[in-house]
Structure formats: structure tokens, C-alpha cells
Amino acid sequence: MAAAGVVIDRLREKGQWNAQAVMEHNRWLFAAQQRARRGPTPEVFFDKRLDNSRLVKAEDPVRKREMRSFTVAAVFFFALLMVYSWQHFSSIEYGYHIETEKAQLQHLQEENHQLGLTEAQLTRSERIDRLAHQIGMQSPQPGQVVSAPAMIDADPNSPVLASMTIPALPANR
């Protein structure tokens, strides 16, 4: 930078300072730099074809051991990654399965609730009485209803002997 400043100062002193003179000086410097790099002869490159087919590469035991240890480490980390991925995706799958089961349970609970309401509505005694009167039934008279003997202490799975009792007919017939 200082050399360029000196050249410009010299050109100003001579009264020859202009852009054209500076460009010419720069061209001369660039050509001098190229000549200094190459020397007096131009650079020439020749294409050399080498036949390496007869060469045999000697085995390097250190390099071979390094490659084996690298391969073992890579396989170990790959296996570790696969186990982690398998666990991660299994947990996601189980999460979806749990959510599906929860939704199904909620649906079944809602359906059970609806069926309970329907059962309560259908077994109301007022409704049964109204339907009985519509088809011509009457309320039972005293003594007309016979209840089965109470078997509170008996095992419900034990065999029972069938029996029949004939109700007494009214005397004024």
C-alpha cells in the first residue's frame, strides 16, 4: 500500500497523474509478479498415465484394528439407537391403545347408563298397571296371589323337587 502511494506521489510530481497512468503501472506490476512466480519459462503440465495394477497394498495392522474398533462402536451405537427407537414407538403405540380403550369404556358406560334409564322407565309400576288395565286385566283380589316358598338359606344351585299346590276355589260358585 505504501509503494502504491509512493508511485502516485511521483506521478503527481511529474504532472502525469491520471487514471490511465495508474492503470498502466498496475499492469506492469501484475506482469512482473507473474514472471517472478513462473520464472523465465511458462508452466507446462504433462499428462502422465500410471499403471498401478501390479501394486499390492500391504496390510496395516494398526489401521485394521482401528477400523474393527470403529465398526464395533458404530454397531453398538446403532443397536442402542434401535432399542431406544423401539421403546419410544412402543410407548406411543401403547398410549394410543390406552386412549382407544378409555374411549370404548366411556362409550360402554354411557350405553349402560342409557339402558339403566330405559329399564327404570319400563319397570315403573304405574306404567305396568296402565298397560294391564288397557288389555283388560284387573287388580288381584285378596287371596288370589300365591307366593313361592321363601328359600333364603338354600343354595341357589342345589336341585329342587317340583311341587304344585292347587288354590282353593271360592265356596259360593
Answer yes or no: is 5 within a domain: yes
Answer yes or no: is 133 within a domain: no
What is the residue range of 10's domain?
1-42
Answer yes or no: is 50 within a domain: no
Answer yes or no: is 107 within a domain: no
Answer yes or no: is 79 within a domain: no
Answer yes or no: is 21 within a domain: yes
- What does the H/E/C string look like for 44-57? CCCCCCCCCCCCCC
Phi-psi region of 15 (alpha: psi -120 to 50; beta: other; left: phi over 0): left
Instruction: Report the pLDDT averaged over residues 105-114.
Output: 97
Tens of pLDDT along 73-109? 999 999 999 999 999 999 999 999 999 999 999 999 9
- Could you tell me where the DSSP H helices lie in the chain? 2-14, 19-38, 61-122, 125-134
Q: What is the DSSP letter of 162?
A: -
Answer yes or no: is 1 within a domain: yes
Answer yes or no: is 115 within a domain: no
The number of distinct structural domains making up the chain is 1
The three-state secondary structure class of 124 is coil
Instruction: Report the pLDDT averaged over residues 21-41.
Output: 76
pTM above 0.75, yes or no: no
